[in-house]
């Protein structure tokens, strides 16, 4: 027997319409390139989003056609986040930190028809413009400089939009957005998110036991809106009606702490690199800022070092550790303590909190290794496979990468994990970063986290370097804290307290900084290249 409920499609349109009706006075604040603050409300956002959608439809945007953005986090990007999909188009956020050839490849592969670009990012457009085929380009003018020839002004385009525009009825399975994975091997691959997936993902982000966003929150997504849907937080803010703070291009610790202070941010989200800088600034002089007593942070994208989590706790800021991928929209797991775990010792609680956490509702997980499905015993390692309503089932128009899906339809994440009996996932490595020494696996992530707990270590990346006898051995690349000079001997001794001898790095290289990917993670391929010819002493 069927239920007697209405067949009501899960699309982004009701989220936008409700925000316009219920929260017209809630503010959206953007830090502009000149550092001044732009303020308007959800009411204004709602009105302008309709104008943009109307303009795009009049410009000929048809169902399923892609509109690209090259934009920082701003009110205009938020308008595109809703106007494009609610008008029936697909928002394609381009990661402009990639190499220009990759950006052009991605825009062409997705067949992007229109582009919206921040004026301060026009130099990136200039570098790709001869390789791409955007039909029309709309420039958001923050600096007031004149538009280059042939490009149109975003505000003028909006001003021409019809005010009687109504959104079309959409099917929940139509795509609403696209992102490409940066992929260190092969060509970037596209993921097309459906309205249904995005809506369910947005609900999930609001749950008290995941990110727990509410209408009373002041949310600052530092994670770029061009990367993995800003972890779903921009959508969640509009669904909940939270005050939204968008930091524009200013991602330094001073600027971010300034916003936390002036806007009384209660929830901020970003990768560990960002939070490392913020922690250092707080440690240097926390009295400079008056932060909201309930400020908490969602940190993900790469593992949260324990020392960082402890450091923020000392300043009364709780770190919520989350895991996800472009292919998982991205929210996959969140580390929150279960009932009863508050009675564990402090060390045990940190051990649980720095894990990647419990799979969120509707994301099913399993661990697969050579022996098949591994038990949840906290020790058996294997690849994490996932499935669920917001997990990609394939890449967009691509032959490549389809081997990531198992025959029975699970997505292989490439992350090597253990899951404990409580269900907490712990990433020990990415498949491509594991170190194989004498037939045994060494986890680079565990060594890195331990090293970053040392007082004289600012950052550490551990990589596999070829070794004649052992196949591979670990080499640690370390950025010392300012004013310190840690020695290899001292660090080896420090690690020796917690790790078997054969796990300890055979060598330490001290550097000024560690190269990063476009999304702020350690670029281990570059390190492996740099130290490929490393000669071992034995
Ligand atoms: P890319 O693959 O280009 O880095 P993604 O953002 O899709 O882009 O990265 C997903 C990967 O990032 C995951 O497969 C995992 O290896 C890593 N990752 C994400 N969150 C965490 C986390 N909390 N801890 C450790 N690794 C993480």
Q: What pLDDT is attached to residue 82?
A: 98
Measure 113 CA to ligand 1 centroid, in angstroms.
30
Mean pLDDT of 414-426: 97
Q: Does the global pTM surpass 0.95?
A: no
**Percent of the chain whose predicted confidence (pLDDT) is above 70:** 99
Q: Enumerate the H helices of 172-249 as residue ranges.
A: 195-206, 233-240
| Average pLDDT of the segment spanning 370-390 | 97
pLDDT at 184 over 60: no
Decide: 302 in ligand 1 pocket, CB within 6 A: yes
- Please identify, by atom number, the ligand 1 atom nearest to the C-alpha of residue 356: 23
Q: SS3 for 496?
A: helix
**Are 142 and 32 contacting, i.e. CB atoms less than 8 angstroms apart?**
yes
Of the residues 178, 179, 301, 304, which should be mutated to test ligand 1's pocket, given the most ligand atoms within 8 Å of the CB? 301
Question: Which are the contacts of 497, defined by CB distance < 8 A and separation ≥ 6?
Answer: none
Residue 123 has pLDDT above 70, yes or no: yes
Q: Is 284 exposed, middle or buried (0-12, 13-18, 19+ CB in 10 A)?
A: exposed
> What is the C-alpha to C-alpha distance for residues 363 and 388, in angstroms, rounded to an integer?
5
Of ligand 1's listed atoms, the one at least distance from the Cα of 427 is 25
Residue to substitute in 190, 302, 426 for testing ligand 1 pocket (most ligand atoms within 8 angstroms of CB): 302
Same CATH topology for 13-27+41-204 and 435-530: the answer is no
Kindly state the tokens that stand for 511: 């550097």
Percent residues over pLDDT 90 in the chain: 83
Distance CA 526, CA 517 (A): 10
Identify the pLDDT of residue 517: 84
Query: Given phi > 0 = left and psi -120 to 50 = alpha, else beta, which region is 228?
Result: left
pLDDT band of residue 261 (cuts 50, 70, 90) is: very high
Task: Read off the pLDDT band of 424 (50, 70, 90).
Answer: very high
Beta bridge partners of 357: 425
Q: What is the mean pLDDT of residues 51-58?
A: 97
Instruction: Tell me which range, 108-117, 458-467, 501-510, is most confidently predicted by mean pLDDT.
Output: 108-117
Q: Which residues of 290-311 are buried (b: 16+ CB within 10 A; e: fewer)?
A: ebbeebbbbbbbbbbbbbbbbb
Q: What is the mean pLDDT of residues 58-81?
A: 98
* Alpha carbon 521 to chain centroid, angstroms: 10
**pLDDT tens per residue across span 14-45:** 999 999 999 999 999 999 999 999 999 999 99
Residues 154, 140 contacting (CB under 8 angstroms): yes
- Judged by DSSP in three states, 228 sits in helix
The residue whose CB lies within 8 Å of the most ligand 1 atoms, and thus the one to mutate among 322, 427, 516, is 427
Lowest mean pLDDT among 53-67, 183-197, 257-271, 323-337: 183-197
CA 182 to ligand 1: nearest atom: 3
Residue 55 has pLDDT above 90, yes or no: yes
**Residue of 470, 409, 468 whose CA lies nearest to 441:** 470
Atom of ligand 1 nearest to the CA of 326: 7
DSSP 138: E
SS3 215: coil
Q: How far is the CA of 330 from the centre of ligand 1 (A)?
A: 9
Tally Cβ neighbours within 10 Å of residue 173: 12
430 lines ligand 1 (CB under 6 A): yes
pLDDT (0 to 100) of residue 536: 59
Of all protein residues, whose CA lies closest to atom 11 belonging to ligand 1?
Answer: 325
pLDDT in tens, 277-314: 999 999 999 999 999 999 999 999 988 989 999 999 99
Report the mean per-residue pLDDT for the chain: 94
**Could you tell me if the CB of 231 is within 6 A of ligand 1?**
no
Residue of higher predicted confidence among 279 and 441 = 279
Q: Average pLDDT in the 143-167 region? A: 93
Concatenate the DSSP letters of all residues of 17-57 into one string: HHHHHH-TT-EEEEE-TTS-EEEEEHHHHHHHHHHHHHHHH
Q: What is the pLDDT of residue 185?
A: 62
357 CB near ligand 1 (under 6 Å): no
**Catalytic residue set:** 181, 327, 436, 441
Please give the Cα distance from 273 to 256 (Å, whole number).
Answer: 13
Check: CB of residue 445 under 8 Å from CB of residue 479. Answer: no
Tokens at residue 270, please?
Answer: 């970003």
Nearest to 448 by CA among 438, 437, 458: 458
Average pLDDT value for residue range 494-520: 90
Pairing of strands 175-181, 189-194: antiparallel
Cis, peptide link before residue 330, omega less than 30° from 0: yes
Distance in Å, CA 249 to ligand 1 centroid: 23
pLDDT of amino acid 183: 61
Of 230, 172, 218, nearest in space to 199 by CA? 172
Confidence tier at 7 by pLDDT (50, 70, 90):
very high
Taking the centre of ligand 1 as the mean of its atom positions, its distance from the CA of residue 325, in whole angstroms, is 5
What is the whole-number distance in angstroms between the Cα of residue 431 and the centre of ligand 1? 12
Please give the CATH number for the structural domain made up of 435-530: 3.30.300.30
* Distance between CA atoms of residues 38 and 251, nearest Å: 16
- The strand pair at 66-70 and 90-93 is best described as parallel
* Alpha-carbon span 296 to 317, nearest angstrom: 5
CB-CB contact of 306 with 449 (8 Å): yes
What are 454's two structure tokens? Answer: 């040392």
323 CB near ligand 1 (under 6 Å): yes
Furthest-apart CA pair in the chain: how many Å? 77
Give the pLDDT mean for 135-156. 94
Q: Which superfamily does 13-27+41-204 belong to? A: ANL, N-terminal domain (3.40.50.12780)
Contacts 24+ apart (CB under 8 A), 33-39: 33/118, 33/120, 33/142, 33/143, 33/248, 33/249, 34/142, 34/143, 35/250, 35/255, 37/262, 38/74, 38/75
**Ligand 1 center to 323 CA (angstroms):** 7
Spatial separation of the C-alpha atoms in residues 78 and 72, rounded to whole Å = 10
- Exposure string over 460-489, b if 16+ CB within 10 A, otherwise e: bbbbbbebeebebbbbbbbbbeeeeebeee
Domain ranges of the chain: 13-27+41-204, 435-530
Strand 372-373 and strand 364-369: the pairing is antiparallel
**CA–CA distance, 321 with 349 (Å, rounded to integer):** 13
Strand segments (E) across 372-424:
372-373, 382-387, 411-419
Give tens-digit pLDDT for 185-244: 678 999 999 999 999 999 999 999 999 999 999 999 999 999 999 999 999 999 999 999
Return the number of other C-beta atoms located less than 10 Å from residue 515's C-beta: 15
Indicate the pLDDT class of residue 324, thresholds 50, 70 and 90. Answer: very high
Q: Is 521 in the pocket of ligand 1 (CB under 6 A)?
A: yes
Find where tokens 């949310």 sit: 219
- The answer, yes or no, to whether any atom of ligand 1 lies below 6 A from the CB of 305, is no
3-state SS, residue 489: helix
pLDDT tier for residue 535 given thresholds of 50, 70 and 90: low
């Amino acid at each position: 027997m069927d239920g007697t409920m209405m067949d009501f499609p899960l699309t982004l349109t009701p989220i936008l319409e409700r925000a316009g009706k219920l929260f017209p006075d809630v503010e959206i604040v953007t830090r502009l390139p000149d550092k001044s603050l732009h303020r308007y409300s959800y009411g204004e956002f709602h009105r302008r989003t309709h104008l943009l959608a109307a303009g795009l439809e009049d410009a000929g945007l048809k169902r399923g056609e892609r509109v690209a953005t090259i934009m920082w986090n701003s009110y205009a990007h938020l308008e595109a986040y809703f106007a494009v999909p609610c008008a029936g188009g697909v928002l394609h956020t381009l990661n402009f930190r990639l190499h220009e050839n990759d950006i052009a490849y991605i825009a062409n592969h997705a067949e992007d028809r229109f582009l919206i670009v921040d004026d301060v990012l026009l130099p990136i457009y200039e570098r790709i413009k001869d390789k791409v085929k955007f039909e029309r380009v709309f420039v958001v003018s923050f600096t007031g400089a004149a538009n280059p020839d042939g490009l149109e002004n975003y505000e003028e385009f909006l001003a021409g939009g019809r005010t009687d525009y109504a959104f079309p009825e959409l099917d929940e399975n139509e795509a609403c957005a696209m992102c490409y994975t940066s992929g260190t091997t092969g060509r970037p691959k596209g993921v097309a998110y459906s309205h249904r997936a995005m809506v369910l993902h947005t609900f999930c982000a609001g749950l008290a036991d995941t990110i727990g966003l509410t209408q009373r929150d002041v949310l600052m997504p530092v994670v770029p809106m061009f990367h993995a849907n800003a972890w779903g937080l921009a959508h969640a803010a509009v669904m909940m009606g939270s005050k939204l703070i968008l930091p524009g291009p200013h991602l330094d610790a001073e600027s971010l702490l300034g916003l936390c202070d002036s806007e009384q941010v209660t929830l901020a989200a970003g990768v560990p690199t960002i939070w490392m800088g913020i922690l250092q600034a707080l440690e240097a002089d926390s009295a400079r800022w008056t932060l909201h007593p309930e400020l908490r942070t969602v940190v993900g994208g790469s593992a949260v070092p324990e020392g960082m989590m402890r450091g923020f706790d000392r300043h009364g800021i709780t770190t919520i550790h989350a895991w996800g991928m472009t292919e998982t929209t991205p929210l996959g797991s969140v580390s929150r303590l279960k009932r009863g775990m508050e009675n564990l010792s402090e060390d045990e609680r940190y051990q649980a909190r720095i894990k990647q956490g419990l799979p969120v509702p509707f994301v099913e997980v399993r661990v697969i290794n050579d022996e098949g499905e591994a038990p949840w015993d906290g020790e058996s390692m294997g690849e994490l496979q996932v499935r669920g309503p917001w997990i990609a089932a394939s890449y967009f128009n691509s032959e490549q990468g389809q081997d990531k899906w198992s025959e029975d339809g699970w997505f292989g994440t490439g992350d090597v994990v253990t899951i404990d009996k409580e269900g907490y996932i712990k990433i020990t490595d990415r498949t491509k970063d594991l170190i194989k020494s004498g037939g045994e696996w060494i986890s680079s992530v565990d060594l890195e986290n331990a090293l970053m707990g040392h007082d004289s270590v600012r950052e550490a990346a551990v990589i596999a370097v070829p070794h004649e006898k052992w196949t591979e051995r670990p080499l640690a690349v370390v950025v010392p804290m300012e004013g310190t000079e840690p020695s290899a001997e001292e660090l080896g001794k420090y690690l020796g307290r917690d790790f078997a001898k054969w796990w300890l790095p055979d060598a330490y290289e001290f550097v000024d900084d560690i190269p990063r990917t476009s999304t702020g993670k350690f670029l281990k391929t570059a390190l492996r290249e740099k130290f490929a010819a490393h000669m071992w002493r034995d």
